[in-house]
Amino acid sequence: MLGLSKKDLNLLFIVFVLTMCAPFILNPFPEGSAMAQFNAGYPDLMQRFVIFGIFAIGFNILFGLTGYLSFGHAAFLGVGSYSAVWMFKLLSMNVIPAIVLSVMVAGLFSVLIGYISLRRSGIYFSILTLAFAQMSFALAYSVLTPVTGGETGLQLALNDPRILDGAASSAGNIPVPGLFGLEMRDSTFLRLGDWVFTFNVGYYFSAVIMLLSFYLAIRIFRSPFGMMLRAIKSNQQRMNYTGLNPKPYTLAAFVISGMYAGLAGGLMAAMDPLAGAERMFWTASGEVVLMTILGGVGTLIGPVLGAGLIKYMENIISKINSEILHGWFAFMPDGIEDFMVAIVYPFIGKGWHLTLGIVFMLVVIFLPGGLVEGGQRIARMFRRKKTTQDNTPGTTEPAE
């Protein structure tokens, strides 16, 4: 079915269920409870989960299959965002043309950068991509200010041409991105007792695109092209001896990966029509590397899990402050309460990066295959336990 094996189809179905049911899964605690702090089922964060999941899936096609580590993928994310905003300014607030332009421009830009960077491999390739990304950031921040908006970013305005939609909405305000009449910010709420679940148009639009991107990634991984990329990662020199030129394959993987990044950038602009140079900074490139490694390099679902974990920590763990901690430990005597708050406080709020660093260190040391390897170990443990129970000899009646 869909050209996938049973295993891959099951994996796609799992991702489908997780994305479609995210408003329920990410809101496990009732509103107003002490644990509601850990709920993540609000539109902005759910959109970030799937958008950065797309970014990480594309990066994994390059890094996971070919072994080429790029530190400059944020350049394509930023180019995609700028392209989408310009489409909103010039043509229409419909998100489809903006996203198509984002993918196309990011693809052309990645051809240029990839053609030059792939002349080297290893650390030299990584440094070249980092240099290109920082050059792009500098150009967007200062030199190309008329095109990018400089440090204030590229924003919509009432005097934009917007050929198809007009410059202003019926109320005289700047229109918002939409899809054939459905605005990306529109939400429907479902209240069940003390729980409130939010169903957002922008999230589900991004989720559908993420599912299509995930499906395409599966087809790439299982295709002869994917096998060729694995061969490049395994032993590129041996491929050269057989007479196969790996350069076209690595360039194709680089361009596909860049187009995924452009798609993610276009979706970011579709959810919030603002593009800034900070999206091209080297820290954004480093973030997608962390996402891929945490989830599992070379796995299909790993980058999505890694993106979800990092964005959850960035938006949930970083909001916990000393007041919330005192509320958690209020049942303890005053001295012990202050002691516990003093111990935990460096790891939350502004110190969430410290927690992320510890998690990353533990994963690299004990789970080199990322979160996916952890899940596989747990599954093997349960299978081994079940097999042991099934093989335990039971009591039998003697034969007559």
Extract the residue ranges of the chain whose pLDDT is less than 70. Answer: 166-172, 390-400
Average pLDDT, the chain: 89
Domain presence at residue 399: no
Domain presence at residue 76: yes
Range of the domain at 237: 6-282
Give pLDDT, residue 395: 47
Domain presence at residue 374: no
Domain presence at residue 100: yes
Domain presence at residue 318: no
Q: Give the three-state DSSP class for 106.
A: helix
Domain presence at residue 66: yes
Alpha-carbon torsion 284, 256, 200, 308, what sign?
Answer: negative
Domain presence at residue 321: no
Name the domain count of the chain: 1
Please check whether residue 138 is in contact with residue 72, taking contact to mean a CB–CB distance below 8 angstroms: no
In the chain, alpha helices (H): 6-20, 22-25, 43-66, 74-90, 95-117, 122-138, 145-148, 201-222, 224-241, 247-271, 282-295, 302-315, 322-328, 334-344, 352-366, 370-391
Give pLDDT, residue 2: 79
Distance CA 190, CA 193 (A): 10
The model's pTM: 0.91
Give pLDDT, residue 52: 95
Give pLDDT, residue 116: 94
